[in-house]
Structure 1
Amino acid sequence: MTDVGLASVLPPGAWGGFGLVGLSFMVALRGGRTGAIVLSLMATVLVLHGLGVVAEPEMRFQVAWRHIGIADYIVNRGEVDLNLDAYQNWPAFFALTAFLWQATGVGDPTAALTWTPVAYNLLYLVPLVAIGHRMFRDRTVVWLAAWLFTVSNWIGQDYFSPQGWYLFIYLVVLAVLLEWFTPDVSTFGSARVLGVSRPPVQHRSWWRSLWSSAAPALGSPVTTPGRRTALLALVLLLSAVTIAGHQLTPFALVLGTGAAFLVGWSRLRALPFVVLLGTLAWIGYAAAAYAAGHPETFNQAGALSAIFEQTVGQRLSGSPGHELIVQLRLLATLVLWFLAAVGVYRLVRSGRRDLARGLAVLALSAFPLLAAQSYGGEALMRIAFFALPFMALLAAVGLAGPSPSTARRSALAPALVVGLLLVMVFPFTRYGNERMDFFMPDEVVGVQEMYRLTPPGSVITSVTGALPWRSIRYGDDDYRLLVDGNPVESTPDIGREGTVDIDIPDRAVLAAQVASRMASAPGQRSVLLVSRAQGAELDLMGPYPPGAEDRLLAALRTSPAFRTIYANDNVTVFELTGGARA
């Protein structure tokens, strides 16, 4: 595998399969049969987002393994430790995972959680299609938007993570608002609860509104007062769970629900303020320990140049192959955003200015978050993740047009060309960092052996974060990083003070610096893991020249301060000898 990732090792037949997926969806869309469209859309999700699951032997992303460890911590302890890290201060997602883990009696959930990207991307389609049907009478636009969302979601936040789950919750809340809480001007001024006016309205099947081709464009809400009260309770419950489960999504929810109210699509005028107050209360009370201990999290607000450098500038560096992947990702994103701009133009030209304005505002609503903080260098990617559903809806209008009478006739040719482009570039954009994102079975075995050979309370150092570690003993050991191999890697719970510059030609000096970084208390074991994925991360992301890991291994193997306690083809575990301890 080269620096362009999984695409470099795919057989020729795989590329033909990708093209077939795009062609089959367009044929189904042209035919207009809902069943065929849904099946081809599900096939697209399975082929594109399941590619990593099928092609790779272990679960992708080191952070997914860490998330398993957080749930394991809650299962074993029955509580959270607010002083441990940020995740423990926003524990709702992990508490739910721990509950399901215990309720199902599954011993090791890793195999099931490997399929999370497929499950999440199927889930996203339900509220997205509901939102689309609320806005457009013609289902060609709606289904094309769902497909564009699927083939454009290279962002990689849909692994086993709170962010992936809470995008679904975010879309569900907005879908409920747009379906059942749009204003009815004829009854404006009637009794309100939490800013909700409740006029007498007629009943309509939720399932029918979701899948029927006759679903209306945005207009008066249709439900019963009792159902609306229940739905309001659901919205508040989902908002509360979001506040307790993620640092970023509550603010996106404030902006999204506020945007819906400002464009006249939501009658819950108090909801954004309730969510904002709840979020601030959570930070000030439940997460007070983390907030007090990490002032840098809040000190970035308004520092646009520093945030831009961390979110954009640092991602443009690395090996030539990595730079190519970044450029392809930017290209795919700009293609979709350009089509979204065309969609706005076509809606305005057709006299649907309100719809154009509303969709554009929702698509852009999360962008103010960029001024708050870099979010570990991922802020722009997270914002693009929140914007993607609405960009896809606008892009579908840009391709198919806003008119039901012409959409199906005009959509196929341009949509097929753009769709095939996005499908063919997807293995690059989605799996372009795969050299460091995937793990060999040997790497998983090496980590397991390390845990077997060391007692709880050990110092465990990894060259970089690219390691399937911390799925057990999450709060039991002193975890450290040796080098800052990836300047935009999000590891908020591992300090980087004292990290080592491994580009030192003198082996003895390099080994001494590594030993200093691994220093432990008397009687405390201290180990260092060096793996294949870490070397790939160093090569891909820089700033070290190729072969940095090999030079590190040579220095450690010749140093009397270290001894090898386990090794296989992809992992070596070194222990700091007694004479080298602090």
Structure 2
Amino acid sequence: MRRPLLFTTAALTVTALHFAVVTVWPASLLVTVLCLVGAFVFVLRLPEEHPWTLGLLAGAFAVVVHGTMIVLEQLARFPTAWLHAGYTAHVMEHHDVLPSLGARFSWPAFFVVTASAFSPAGDSVPEPVLRFAPLFFVLAMLPAILVIARRCVVVWRGSWRAPWLAVWFFPLIDWFGQDYFAPQSLALLLGLSIIAIVLTLSDRPPTLWTTRDGVLRRGGLLWPRRPGIRDAALVRARIPDALLLVGSVVVLCAAVAMTHQLTPFVIAVQLAVLWYAGRLPWMLPAWIVGVTALVWVSWGASDFWIPFIADVFGGVGDPVGNLSAGIVERTGGSAEHQTVVAVRLGFTLAVVLAAAGGVIAEYVRDRRIELSLPLLAAAPGFLLFAQSYGGEGVLRVMVFATPFLAMLVTKLFITRRGLGRAAAAAVVIVSVACVPPFLVARYGNEPFERVRADEIALAGCLYDRAPAGSTILSVSPHLAWQFRDIADHLHLSANERVFDAETADDLRARLEQTPRPRYLIFTEPQLQFVVRSLGAPATWPTALQRELAADPAMTVVCENSGGVVYRVGGAG
């Protein structure tokens, strides 16, 4: 026990030193990762399981990978996180929700819960909550992933190494940035918890695809059990726990249904494939989740989907079009943006191929394939047949599949004999080698995804000056705004998906027939988004700034190093 404790203490000490020196020595990130993975692999190769040690090391690794940028950045990244803070602030102040503001308020559970939690702290969500939310959600998902992996990663009876390796790999391949202060983050956490609880409640052995007579056939339970008196007594003893778990699942299903549009349907499909794989005795959990979601959509979210029924169902049955919206339309823009997209696609493809390699390795090694994990990873693919989800359909599929892809990857390294020396070395090499592409994939769009203090100050000045009922136009949607007074103004954005507002005249045209007074907010991240993502000429930001400064209809209201706020056409 002394050697694991020694290695763990040394690795955690290096982790603490990393956060102390990373601002002056960025290379400390790779050094810390190397120390952590070395200690983790050492403990993983021991004959006995040391859960607390492995948990500390895996948690420290997640903190290093996902928390380093929190130290380096001044404020919470992702402008959308600040928008969600604005929704929450509205609930804090008015104690109600307004579905007319947007689709998010048709699934308001996240905002209601966070408003209740942080109301004693003031009238808005504290900024540190926004900043540390990604790290919180990643760490909170790890226990659920561990429980699911213990039930699904079948290497040999009693294996404990593969689940811990899945917990290790998940933070490293979760580059998608969908774990910020947002409803989908909470919904994904609750969804994984539902799957973990249901698998714990069922405790059924997995169904395998095995080779019989030269043909891959479904059947053959691993570790078959014969029911008897002891099993009946065990069932009776577990009835109170089972009722508690079932009640928990029902409550979680209701919470997920009122939190996010897609997650409950994905969870329902994943529970259905678990039933098909023999892990659940009934389809009841899938029906509970699916019916609960349909009830909420039909009743609680009717204000959203009835007026926009064509948009909601427009992509149904068009997987090619939805795939194009998720990939092809995102590959344009500047050379820097294309590089980031290429790294993201390559990194994601490598993870998917590694997961497929894990399935193949399992079949070659044991002449069997356990169905649960491949089906769980593939189940979110049905979203491509639903709609593009604003061009994020492919991204959402990968977000839901990533925990199970991490579990499949472990099959490349863990065998019946455990974790051999070659496999242990491979884990170390892969962990260190994946850090650079992970950082590029997750943080490659920092010029317009990072939020700066001067940007927040500029938006705050705007809300101080603009009277209620004003129209506020942004040059592009990528800026931190709407974090207060979200229902008091009409917020519009130009250049959302295509570069279609090049001049001051184009921007003024967007404000026609809108309430006065009218304001235009102009910040550097907005311009970077239009240039890097939408392909505007590199000279366009400078030209537009000069045009706006020379336009007599534009009156400067607020200005700092982050940008300018103009009042358009006077106050009347």
Pair 409,15 (structure 1): closer, same or farther in 2 beyond 3 Å: closer
Partner of 2:331: 316
Pair 230,500 (structure 1): closer, same or farther in 2 beyond 3 Å: same
Partner of 1:64: 81
CA contact (8 A) 2:253 2:288 kept: no
**Pick from 568, 572, 582: which aligns with 2:564?**
572
Moved more, 43-52 or 120-129: 43-52
Task: Work out the CA distance in 1 between the residues paired with 2:58 and 2:237.
Answer: 30
Work out whether 1:167 is the aligned partner of 2:161: no
Task: Work out the CA distance in 1 between the residues paired with 2:123 and 2:492.
Answer: 30
Superposition pairs of residues 480-499 of structure 1, within 5 angstroms: 480-484=492-496, 486=497
Task: Work out the CA distance in 2 between the residues paired with 1:566 and 1:447.
Answer: 9
Work out whether 1:244 is the aligned partner of 2:261: no
Deviation of 1:305 (Å): 2.7
CA contact (8 A) 1:120 1:164 kept: yes
CA contact (8 A) 1:538 1:548 kept: no
Give the match's secondary structure for 1:451: helix
Give the match's secondary structure for 2:99: coil
**Pick from 507, 510, 513: which aligns with 2:506?**
513
Pair 120,550 (structure 1): closer, same or farther in 2 beyond 3 Å: same
Moved more, 533-542 or 442-451: 533-542
Work out whether 1:55 is the aligned partner of 2:48: no
CA contact (8 A) 1:66 1:469 kept: yes
Q: Which amino acid aligns with 1:269?
A: M
Task: Work out the CA distance in 1 between the residues paired with 2:39 and 2:558.
Answer: 50
Give the match's secondary structure for 2:419: helix
Deviation of 1:26 (Å): 2.9
Tell me the number of residue pairs that the alignment of Structure 1 and Structure 2 aligns.
525
Pair 61,242 (structure 1): closer, same or farther in 2 beyond 3 Å: same
Task: Work out the CA distance in 2 between the residues paired with 1:410 and 1:447.
Answer: 55
Q: Deviations over 1:305-358 (max 9, x none)?
A: 32122101011112112111122122222222222122212322444735x222
Partner of 1:532: 524
**Pick from 232, 247, 250: which aligns with 1:200?**
232
Partner of 2:53: 36
Task: Work out the CA distance in 1 between the residues paired with 2:507 and 2:532.
Answer: 22
Deviation of 1:414 (Å): 1.6
Pair 438,349 (structure 1): closer, same or farther in 2 beyond 3 Å: same
Task: Work out the CA distance in 2 between the residues paired with 1:88 and 1:411.
Answer: 48
Task: Work out the CA distance in 1 between the residues paired with 2:514 and 2:339.
Answer: 45
Give the match's secondary structure for 1:200: helix
Pair 439,105 (structure 1): closer, same or farther in 2 beyond 3 Å: closer
Deviation of 1:533 (Å): 0.7
Pair 305,179 (structure 1): closer, same or farther in 2 beyond 3 Å: same
Superposition pairs of residues 242-281 of structure 1, within 5 angstroms: 242-281=256-295
Task: Work out the CA distance in 1 between the residues paired with 2:463 and 2:110.
Answer: 26
CA contact (8 A) 2:501 2:507 kept: no
State the TM-score, normalized to the length of structure 2.
0.86
Superposition pairs of residues 301-450 of structure 1, within 5 angstroms: 301-351=316-366, 353=368, 356-401=370-415, 403=416, 405-450=417-462
Pair 234,557 (structure 1): closer, same or farther in 2 beyond 3 Å: same
Deviation of 1:270 (Å): 2.1
Task: Work out the CA distance in 1 between the residues paired with 2:447 and 2:179.
Answer: 19
Q: Deviations over 1:436-459 (max 9, x none)?
A: 100221111101111111112111
Q: Deviations over 1:414-441 (max 9, x none)?
A: 2122222212322111111111100221
Deviation of 1:172 (Å): 0.8
**Pick from 526, 546, 554: which aligns with 2:546?**
554
Give the match's secondary structure for 1:50: helix
Work out whether 1:179 is the aligned partner of 2:200: yes
**Pick from 124, 129, 132: which aligns with 2:149?**
132
Task: Work out the CA distance in 2 between the residues paired with 1:248 and 1:73.
Answer: 24
Task: Work out the CA distance in 2 between the residues paired with 1:44 and 1:500.
Answer: 43
Partner of 1:154: 175
CA contact (8 A) 2:318 2:384 kept: no
Task: Work out the CA distance in 2 between the residues paired with 1:262 and 1:409.
Answer: 37
Task: Work out the CA distance in 1 between the residues paired with 2:121 and 2:464.
Answer: 26
Pair 20,187 (structure 1): closer, same or farther in 2 beyond 3 Å: closer
Deviation of 1:17 (Å): 3.6
Deviation of 1:134 (Å): 2.4
Partner of 1:109: 126
State the TM-score, normalized to the length of structure 1.
0.85
CA contact (8 A) 1:515 1:561 kept: no
Deviation of 1:520 (Å): 5.7
Deviation of 1:279 (Å): 1.9
**Pick from 300, 315, 320: which aligns with 1:286?**
300
Give the match's secondary structure for 1:565: strand
Task: Work out the CA distance in 1 between the residues paired with 2:72 and 2:236.
Answer: 46
Task: Work out the CA distance in 1 between the residues paired with 2:186 and 2:237.
Answer: 28
Pair 105,534 (structure 1): closer, same or farther in 2 beyond 3 Å: closer
CA contact (8 A) 1:566 1:573 kept: yes
Superposition pairs of residues 8-27 of structure 1, within 5 angstroms: 11-27=26-42
Q: Deviations over 1:1-59 (max 9, x none)?
A: xxxxxx9x984444434444444433443456433322221121111111221111111
Moved more, 151-160 or 30-39: 30-39
CA contact (8 A) 1:242 1:249 kept: yes
Pair 321,21 (structure 1): closer, same or farther in 2 beyond 3 Å: farther
Moved more, 326-335 or 48-57: 326-335
CA contact (8 A) 1:520 1:526 kept: no
Partner of 2:484: 472
Moved more, 141-150 or 16-25: 16-25
User: Greater RCO between the two (CA within 8 Å, min separation 6)?
Assistant: 1
Partner of 1:207: none
Moved more, 22-31 or 90-99: 22-31
**Pick from 82, 100, 103: which aligns with 1:83?**
100
Pair 70,10 (structure 1): closer, same or farther in 2 beyond 3 Å: farther
Pair 143,106 (structure 1): closer, same or farther in 2 beyond 3 Å: farther
Q: Deviations over 1:463-482 (max 9, x none)?
A: 11111101111121100012
Task: Work out the CA distance in 2 between the residues paired with 1:532 and 1:26.
Answer: 44
Task: Work out the CA distance in 2 between the residues paired with 1:104 and 1:266.
Answer: 44
CA contact (8 A) 1:318 1:542 kept: yes
CA contact (8 A) 1:500 1:517 kept: no
Task: Work out the CA distance in 2 between the residues paired with 1:223 and 1:540.
Answer: 61
User: RMSD of the alignment, in Å?
Assistant: 2.6
CA contact (8 A) 1:18 1:424 kept: no
Deviation of 1:186 (Å): 7.4
CA contact (8 A) 1:57 1:441 kept: yes
Task: Work out the CA distance in 2 between the residues paired with 1:222 and 1:145.
Answer: 33
Give the match's secondary structure for 1:160: coil
Pair 40,533 (structure 1): closer, same or farther in 2 beyond 3 Å: same
Q: Deviations over 1:103-133 (max 9, x none)?
A: 5557542222210111111111001111122
Moved more, 75-84 or 112-121: 75-84
